[in-house]
Amino acid sequence: MGHTDRAPLLRKLFNFHGGVKPNANKQQSAAQPICTLPLSREYVVPLHQSIGGTPQPLVVAGDRVLRGQRIGAADGNVSSAVHAPTSGCVVAIEERLMPHASGLSAPCVVIEADGLDEAAPRENFDWRSASPDAVRDYLRDAGVVGLGGAVFPSHLKLKANNSIGLETLIINGAECEPFITCDDRLMQEKAREVIEGVALMAHLMQAKQTLIGIEDNKPDAIAAMQAAAQTAGQSNISVVAIPTRYPAGGAKQLIRVLTGIEVPHGKRSTDYGVQCFNVGTAFAIRDALENGLSLTTRVVTVTGNVERPGNYWVRIGTPMHELVEHAGIKPGTERWLMGGPMMGIPMPSLDVPVVKATNCILAGSAELFAAPEPEMPCIRCGECAQACPADLQPFEMYWHSRARNFGKAQEYHLFDCIECGCCSYVCPSHIPLVDYYRFAKSEIWAREKDKTAADQARDRYEFRNYRIEREKEEKAARLAAKTAAGRAAIQASQQTVTGDAAPSETADDPKKAMIAAAMQRAQAQKAAAQPQNTEHLTPAQQAEVNDAEARRARARELADQDAQSIGKTSPSADTPNKMAD
């Protein structure tokens, strides 16, 4: 026996706090080889399938696409492309129901398959000669994301911390959640390819050692992977059996178990010299780099209350109902979950597509998942704290989340919670603890967003007020400058008219001069406006004229009053300038 067999025996494993041991329920599907689902008639490919920006569609309705053709381009670097799962015609780019707890829709590319399954021409890319950045860009455009469920774009993770390098590359084959067997089967059936993918990643990240962690309830997968690692002659890849305990497959927990390192919330694991990928991701990365295949297919476990539990190679975008019909819908199914029973999310309907995050479809019946018993008050028994793998005090977080006291909930490290469900699992009062945390987290996020928006609005509002004020001041300054110029002009003109006779008088009172000038002009205007044919009027006509004159006088009076009430800013202030012109 080679080194890979001895390594797990010699390796010191670490423990993580808490965790639970629910019934694994893997036997139903674990023995079933992965079979390929027949082609669908229609595929619905959501554009947003990874953490990060929503990809921009590259096709329009009516376009013919080929299998593996990019139909959505990554939006920025924190995003990942999406591809056509088969050849066919784009019939629409529209909102379709998402496999998401919200039951809301999001933009999808709907492709009608032509049944030819014609592949797009392979891009010429040799990762061996390409720069690491080019490899990462290639993986981004190949749509490779973490297939463990978090769908974080893999290219962003494939980069070691420059100053400390990568001590340990961890490959997650733990698959700790009950019922799910897709990684187990993949490791058994595609061990060579997975190991090649792992070796490739280890090379890209210059990892000093590579550990593949697999829970010890999967002896076949462990054996297959060990054999493959040995055959491949990868001396620094070790396959390590770890104790079966949920959530040992959580990235942070697995890193802890294998290396003893705890990566705090919000920190990059590469800053601690480790990085963790799922086995499915390793397979997908190899597929992309060696075979030029974009991520258009993945293994999905269909299990629970179905006729034929099993594992399937499923094209991304396959309608979920086709997949479960293939496995056989059984009566008594109350809900369909995407994911396992601990963290899975209920599907709003089966008219949703299989996405990159779909590792398992679980049919839940009353026998499998008993309806929760009525919620009782928290008795602070501390079972949740003992079960929490993040060393939190869940009952305190619950207390404050329930009271919508979100600041306090955050003081108890709400955001360190990985929502694994251990606390709800053990709670003797049957409190849906995780639901409270999910609620509190999304409220806090929403508030933070609102606050940012409010701060921005305040800034913009204050700037606008400042701008208006400034414009007013500038106008006043301009006005003052013009007035001064007007005075100077009058002075000059008076000087030229009167000579040196009375310079002191005009200099003392230029305003008077201005007023006099204005009055002169007004007189002239009045004279011009005076009707000329008033000499020979009948008394009746004269009376009418007088009447009109009186009205005019009244109107002028009113206008004067208005002008006075408006004050200095009244347009009359402009008169001197006009005169000066």
Partner 1 sequence: MISALLVMAIGAIVLGAALGWASVKFKVEGDPLVDKIDTILPQTQCGQCGFPGCKPYATAIAKGEADINQCPPGGDEGVRKLADLLGREYKPLNAEHGIEKPKSVAFIDEQTCIGCTLCIQACPVDAIVGAAKQMHTIVADLCTGCELCVPPCPADCITMEPIAETVETWKWRYPVFELKPVVTTSVVTTDHPTRAA
Partner 2 sequence: MYNAPYLRQNNSVSRVMLKVMLALLPGLAAYVWQFGIGILIQLLIASVVALVCEAAMLRVRNKPISRYLLDGSALVTAWLIALSFPSIGPWWMVALGTAIAIIVAKHLYGGLGQNVFNPAMVAYAVMIVSFPALMSQWPAPHLSGAEQWQLILGNERVLDAISSATPLDALRTGLHSGHGTVSTVTHGHAAFGWLGGQGWEWIILGYAIGGLWLMQQRVITWHIPCALLAGAAAVAGLLWGIDSAHYAAPWFHLASGGIMLGAFFIATDPVSGATTPRGKLIFGAAIGALIVVIRTWGAYPDGVAFAVLLLNICVPLIDMYTQPPVFGHKKD
Sites of contact with partner 1 (CB under 8 A): 48, 98, 100-102, 104-106, 321, 329, 333-336, 346-351, 366, 371-375, 432, 435-436, 438-439, 441-443, 445-446, 450, 453-458, 460-465
Q: How far apart are CA 84 and CA 269, in angstroms?
A: 33
Smallest separation, CB 248 to partner 2 (Å)? 14
Closest C-alpha to 306, from 330, 322, 323: 330
CB of 271 to partner 2, least distance (A): 12
Our CB check for partner 1 shows the closer of 430 and 552 to be 430
Residue owning tokens 């995003």: 79
- Residue 388 CB, shortest distance to partner 2, in Å, is 9
Minimum CB distance to partner 2, residue 393 (Å): 7
Dist CA 568 CA 570 (whole Å): 5
Kindly tell me which of 53 and 432 has the beta carbon lying closer to partner 2. 432
Q: Name the binder of 463 from partner 1, partner 2, none, CB < 5-8 A by kind.
A: partner 1
DSSP β-bridge partners for residue 361: 302, 338
How many Å apart are CA 55 and CA 81, to the nearest integer?
6
Nearer to partner 1, 48 or 136 (CB): 48
Residues that bind partner 2 (CB under 8 A): 16-17, 20, 22-23, 101, 178, 252, 256, 262-265, 267, 337, 339, 341-346, 364, 368-374, 376-383, 385-386, 389-393, 395-396, 412-413, 416, 421, 424-430, 432, 434-435, 438
Fill in the amino acid letter for 539.
Answer: P
Sheet holding 333-338, edge to edge: 34-36, 310-315, 297-304, 360-365, 333-338, 345-346
Give the residue with the Cβ less far from partner 1, 208 or 335: 335
Closest distance to partner 1 from the beta carbon of 369 (Å) = 11
CB of 304 to partner 2, least distance (A): 10
Of the pair 366, 559, the CB lying nearest partner 1 is at 366
100 contact choice in partner 1, partner 2, none (CB below 5 to 8 Å, kind-dependent): partner 1
Amino acid sitting at position 36: T
Q: Which does 460 bind (CB under 5 to 8 A by kind): partner 1, partner 2, none?
A: partner 1
Q: In this complex, which beta carbon is closest to partner 2, that of residue 359 or of residue 506?
A: 359
Following DSSP, what letter does each residue of 379-408 receive, concatenated? Answer: ----HHHHH-TT---HHHHHHHHHTT-HHH
Residue 17, H or E segment: none
Region class of 260: left (phi > 0), else alpha (psi between -120 and 50), else beta: left
Q: Name the residue with tokens 């913009």.
A: 460
113 versus 434: smaller Cβ distance to partner 2? 434
| Per-residue CA distances from 21 to 176, 183, 185, 357, 359 (Å) | 10, 19, 22, 24, 21
Residue 453 binding partner per list partner 2, partner 1, none, with a CB distance cut-off of 5 to 8 Å that depends on partner kind: partner 1
> Comparing C-alpha atoms, which of 55, 225, 199, 80 is closest to residue 150?
80
Q: Please tell me the distance from the alpha carbon of residue 562 to that of residue 567, in angstroms, as a whole number.
A: 8
CB of 520 to partner 1, least distance (A): 39
Partner whose footprint covers residue 106, from partner 2, partner 1, none (CB < 5 to 8 Å by kind): partner 1
Residue 15 CB, shortest distance to partner 2, in Å, is: 12
Nearer of residues 273 and 346 to partner 1, judged by Cβ: 346
436 binds, among partner 1, partner 2, none (CB under 5 to 8 A by kind): partner 1
Q: Which of 333, 172, 175, 345 is nearest to 245 (CA)?
A: 175
